[in-house]
Amino acid sequence: MKVLVPVKRVVDANVKIRVKPDQSGVDLANVKMAMNPFDEIAVEEALRLREAGKATEVVAVSIGPAQAQETIRTALAMGADRGIHVAAEGTVEPLAVAKLLKAVADREQPGLIVMGKQAIDDDSNQTGQMLAALLGWPQGTFASKVAIGDGAVEVTREVDGGLQTLSLKLPAVITTDLRLNEPRYASLPNIMKAKKKTIDALTTAELGVDVTPRLTVEKTAPPPGRQGGVKVASVEELVAKLKEAGALA
Amino acid sequence: MTTLLLAEHDGKRLDDATARALSAAKALGAPVHVLVAGQDCAAVADAAAALDGVAKVLVADDARYAHALAEPVAALMVQLAPGYDALVAAATSSGKNVMPRVAALLDVMQVSDVIKVLGPDRFERPIYAGNAVQTVRSGDAKKVLTIRTAAFPSAAAGGAKAPVEPVQAAADPGLSSFAGEALSQSARPELGGAKAVVSGGRALGSAEKFKQYIEPLADALGAAVGASRAAVDAGYAPNDFQVGQTGKVVAPGLYVAVGISGAIQHLAGMKDSKIIVAINKDEEAPIFQVADFGLVGDLFDIVPKLTEAIAKARG
Ligand SMILES: Cc1cc2nc3c(=O)[nH]c(=O)nc-3n(C[C@H](O)[C@H](O)[C@H](O)COP(=O)(O)OP(=O)(O)OC[C@H]3O[C@@H](n4cnc5c(N)ncnc54)[C@H](O)[C@@H]3O)c2cc1C
Ligand SMILES: Nc1ncnc2c1ncn2[C@@H]1O[C@H](COP(=O)(O)O)[C@@H](O)[C@H]1O
């Protein structure tokens, strides 16, 4: 079984971003970029399936500018077998990403797609569900455990009330949650090896997808600020202040 | 112009998330119908009919909706979609699971986690863990929205009852089946709608200490219990306690962060709380920057004293 893993290049999770003064967007000049953390978890899961003999090939795919190839390289250095880069400039919304990924899946015919639950830049949490819909496949979102069976996969999901386990017919789309696994670091030899692996190049036109955004972003503003930073000296003072603020009613 | 709101429930009880999402749905300016999809869910439909501003309740009562699986529920919403201009759900784990599937089937770009409705096609939503807020205009003919419940008040209940109508189940794609669940049992308030939340972090050091220190303080305050990702990853608290960018977003009247450093991802889930209290032994911890009242010191020393003092103050 082939596993397809969509990976997105995003601002590193440790960076506190700044909004541009003219509110036209987020300032990304010279900001450290990385693979979306949930996608690292997805790559790791796919690799573990291959190592357990449940998968035969792991293909990483990314949609974005030329630099998205670096993100694919990261996946290859972790151990993915090959990559696919779909060149696209500017904002590609989750719906368009899902359409492009569907077109890639139609060509590649994977038995499973494992991807992140959420990109930490747009925080959309949509693409996996949309892709599953467009493919007519079942979806196992927010996965904390994946067990491949015969023609089906059991997915344990992190839900608001606790955990839920579903059985999905294969092929299926799975989106990862934080506790699915702990992604490995790429070793130096594997980073070297990754340089020789192939990354196929595709365009949105070749895949026949119109990526024109459906949402117009009118402005991007900083969130309302908070006046914090006040310290109290003791438990007694804290309780008095809370009482005064009506927080102990 | 009509809006369809997907109800959040467990088969027996209508979740408060629905009443909050209803406030956003009403702000679109059109009559709101509530869809209750479930099995033996008459009580839920009844509760939805009593919410202020609901024009009609549609009930799809069928075994295929018993566990709110994404594939059959999305198929149902798509079947009903021609009669609606907007399809809305709370951004709960269930709403987040189902709605993008609906959106893709309708060829609509969903607007996730709406925090403000500016008009029928203009919305505010947070990006980058809430460090920026986008104003977006949707050019799609239909709108598909998920609503951040912490950003909207619950619509009131108890007015005149809206009519309740059964609707036909949609063909079940039969792609997935329910295999089990392990739900947290607790007599404490739920995180989502709680008036107060006490959250513990990595500093607690073990599940036993988390229980021993965080729970009594929560009980003294009548609060729900939350946790940082580090505390959940370490097994001190269950996954559904996680507050943050990728967990639950809460905005209670009082949020008490105990032994939590205040990473961007954690702040994303609680920084809209009315009053924030932080207890941390590191006076430089970023959590203090958002705290209305910060107390520097050892939590193992402070928390028992605070628990006692609050219990006394609240009688
Ligand atoms: C993709 C991604 C998503 C994430 N999503 C979330 C999320 O949704 N929610 C979330 O919370 N995090 C999330 N994180 C993790 C986040 O970045 C932090 O790692 C996490 O919040 C840290 O948890 P913590 O504050 O409990 O632990 P730490 O950062 O280790 O902080 C522990 C604090 O306890 C203090 N302390 C230690 N001992 C004591 C004592 N005896 N008394 C008092 N204070 C003490 C220390 O000074 C320190 O400030 C995410 C990270 C990534 C990459
Ligand atoms: N441009 C992209 N290229 C590859 N994968 C993507 C892209 N955008 C989103 N994804 C995948 O979709 C997941 C969810 O993203 P989102 O719906 O934007 O929150 C991510 O974790 C990725 O796995």
Residue B306 per-residue DSSP state: H
CB B212 within 8 A of CB B225: no
Q: Is the confidence at residue A228, as pLDDT, over 90?
A: no
C-alpha to C-alpha distances, A214 to A63, A91, B138, B189, nearest whole angstrom? 18, 11, 6, 39
Distance CA A29, CA A49 (A): 37
A68-78 and A37-51 helices, crossing angle to 10°: 40
CB B87 within 8 A of CB B4: yes
Q: Is the confidence at residue A243, as pLDDT, over 90?
A: yes
Instruction: Indicate if ligand 2 lies below 6 Å from the C-beta of A92.
Output: yes
pLDDT level of residue A29 (50, 70, 90 thresholds): very high
Distance CA A180, CA B239 (A): 12
Instruction: Indicate if ligand 2 lies below 6 Å from the C-beta of A176.
Output: no
Return the pLDDT at B141.
Answer: 95
Q: Is the confidence at residue B178, as pLDDT, over 90?
A: yes
> Do the Cβ atoms of B128 and A121 come within 8 Å?
yes
Give the mean pLDDT of chain A. Answer: 97
Closest alpha carbon to A9 in A168, A151, A120, A166: A120
Distance CA B214, CA B200 (A): 6
Strands B86-90 and B196-200: unpaired
Which residues in chain B touch residue A245, judged by CB atoms under 8 angstroms apart?
275, 292
Average pLDDT rounded to a whole number, residues B216-227: 97
Return the pLDDT at A249.
Answer: 80
Distance CA B53, CA B33 (A): 9
Give the distance from residue B160's alpha carbon to the nearest chain A alpha carbon, in angstroms: 31
Which residues in chain A touch residue B245, judged by CB atoms under 8 angstroms apart?
120, 123
Q: What ipTM does this complex have?
A: 0.97
Tell me which residue in A118, A217, A243 faces B136 most closely, judged by beta carbons. Answer: A217
Tens of pLDDT along A65-110?
Answer: 999 999 999 999 999 999 999 999 999 999 999 999 999 999 999 9
Return the pLDDT at A225.
Answer: 85
Q: What percent of chain B lies above the pLDDT cut of 90?
A: 96
Average pLDDT rounded to a whole number, residues A139-150: 97
Return the pLDDT at B234.
Answer: 97
Return the pLDDT at A62.
Answer: 98
Q: Is the confidence at residue B132, as pLDDT, over 90?
A: yes
Q: Is the confidence at residue B315, as pLDDT, over 90?
A: no
Return the pLDDT at B288.
Answer: 97
Q: How many CB atoms lie within 10 A of CB B304?
A: 15
Tell me which residue in A213, A228, A238 faces B289 most closely, judged by beta carbons. Answer: A228
DSSP lists the bridge partners of residue B278 as B257, B294
Tens of pLDDT along B248-284?
Answer: 999 999 999 999 999 999 999 999 999 999 999 999 9
Q: What percent of chain A lies above the pLDDT cut of 90?
A: 96
pLDDT level of residue A61 (50, 70, 90 thresholds): very high
Average pLDDT rounded to a whole number, residues B106-120: 98
The helix/strand/coil state of A40 is helix
pLDDT level of residue A185 (50, 70, 90 thresholds): very high
Return the pLDDT at A229.
Answer: 82
Instruction: Indicate if ligand 2 lies below 6 Å from the C-beta of A119.
Output: yes
Average pLDDT rounded to a whole number, residues A34-48: 98
Residue B259 per-residue DSSP state: S
Which residues in chain B touch residue A215, judged by CB atoms under 8 angstroms apart?
109, 111, 136-139
Q: Is the confidence at residue A132, as pLDDT, over 90?
A: yes
In B37-66, the residues whose Cβ lies within 8 Å of chain A are: none
pLDDT level of residue A53 (50, 70, 90 thresholds): very high
Going through chain A in order, the beta strands assigned E by DSSP cover 2-6, 9-11, 33-35, 57-64, 82-87, 112-116, 139-148, 152-159, 162-169, 172-176, 199-203, 215-221, 231-232
Least confident of A49-53, A197-201, B128-132, B189-193: B189-193
Return the pLDDT at B93.
Answer: 97
Tell me which residue in A162, A167, A220 faces B183 most closely, judged by beta carbons. Answer: A162
Q: Kindly tell me the sign of the dihedral angle through the C-alpha atoms of B47, B50, B51, B54.
A: positive
In B101-140, the residues whose Cβ lies within 8 Å of chain A are: 101-105, 107-113, 122, 126-140
Q: Is the confidence at residue A21, as pLDDT, over 90?
A: yes
Return the pLDDT at B193.
Answer: 87
Instruction: Indicate if ligand 2 lies below 6 Å from the C-beta of A173.
Output: no
pLDDT level of residue A147 (50, 70, 90 thresholds): very high
